[in-house]
Amino acid sequence: MKTIRSAAVLGAGALGLLYLQSIQKQLGEACYFLAGPERFDSLNRTEFKINSKGIRFHTRNPLLEELKPDLILIAVKNYHMDSILPLLQAASGPSTIILSVLNGISSEGILEAALPGSTVLYAAALGMDAVKIGPDLNFSVKGKILLGSKDNSETEELLRVANFLNSCDIEYQIPQDIHRELWFKWMINIGVNQVSAVCSATYGLFQKEPQLRELMNKAMLETIEVAGAEGIQLGTSDLERWYKLLETLGPDGKTSMLQDIEAGRKTELDSFAGELIRRAGKQGIPVPVNETLYSILKVKEQL
């Protein structure tokens, strides 16, 4: 089996930095940020700090040079998907494996349509508590990547990436059904991310405040109902699974949506409650909690 000798990361947020740091230790200059002209210079000159330790990363522009790395890991926000497709199309080739850790349940289908010559794996990042402010990233738990192929078979590309993540000291798991795991992660996003952004709540508050947990639960139970209507079997045992994971997170950690609200950035709301409301409408399922969260967060975004 061929090994992965070159890798690129698209996205310099918390996840992009978290994974690129680990990959750079393994590949050195053969790993780099992918960036177009609008971000190239700023990424190239920035010294990031990860848990207070300074680090720089290489940056390359696939619109100006032939790259074709073995692996491209995508860690941008959902609403940037359309804008990054030209970079991905320029950078990828028939031997390129695409790994998206975007939140939500839609990115892989978009990537498969846009990059028919490449292999798209299915993935979700779970259990990290990273907080990024400007160029500084702090975390206490790296979490893991849930990893799979479209038909849940152990393909050569899947095993290559698994072996590579292991060599980079990035924890991963290959579940029996990656599609169920994507919905499980989406359920978490819809619950804790949105409620944290409305209530300005850290993970520590969710760990000890029953009323916060009750609101989070209601948003997630609506997701479970829609999942069932779409053939994905989630249940209350998945809530318990999430509670156990929640207890492992640093109490000062914040969800990505809360960080976006605090920084005055656009959030992934349309990929969370927005997408759930659309799917629920098609199934005739009421989702009043998520409709309320959506309305509140839309106002907070506009303000």
Distance CA 280, CA 219 (A): 13
What SS3 class is residue 271?
helix
CA neighbor of 221 nearest in space, from 280, 267, 271, 295: 280
The pLDDT value recorded for residue 168 is 96
Entry pTM: 0.93
Tell how many helices (H) and how many strands (E) occur in the chain: 13, 12
Cβ atoms within 10 Å, residue 37: 9
Q: Does domain 7-176 have CATH number 3.40.50.720?
A: yes
Chain-centroid distance, C-alpha 206: 21
First-residue to last-residue Cα distance in the chain: 53
CA neighbor of 224 nearest in space, from 214, 211, 235, 213: 235
User: Which pLDDT band holds residue 302 (cuts at 50, 70, 90)?
Assistant: confident
Token pair for residue 191?
Answer: 């619950």
- The tens digit of pLDDT for each residue in 225-255 reads 999 999 999 999 999 999 999 999 999 999 9
- The tens digit of pLDDT for each residue in 40-54 reads 999 999 999 999 999
- The tens digit of pLDDT for each residue in 56-112 reads 999 999 999 999 999 999 999 989 989 999 999 999 999 999 999 999 899 999 999
Distance CA 105, CA 197 (A): 20
- 288-296: Cβ within 8 A, 24+ apart: 289/215, 289/218, 289/219, 289/222, 290/190, 290/194, 290/219, 290/222, 290/223, 293/194, 293/195, 293/198, 293/219, 294/269, 296/198
Distance CA 204, CA 251 (A): 4
Q: What are the domain boundaries of the chain?
A: 7-176, 179-302
DSSP 96: -
CA neighbor of 227 nearest in space, from 105, 78, 69: 105
DSSP structure string for 20-48: HHHHHHHHGGGEEEE--HHHHHHHHH--E
Report which residue type is found at 85: L
Distance CA 125, CA 184 (A): 11
Q: Tell me the CATH number for domain 179-302.
A: 1.10.1040.10
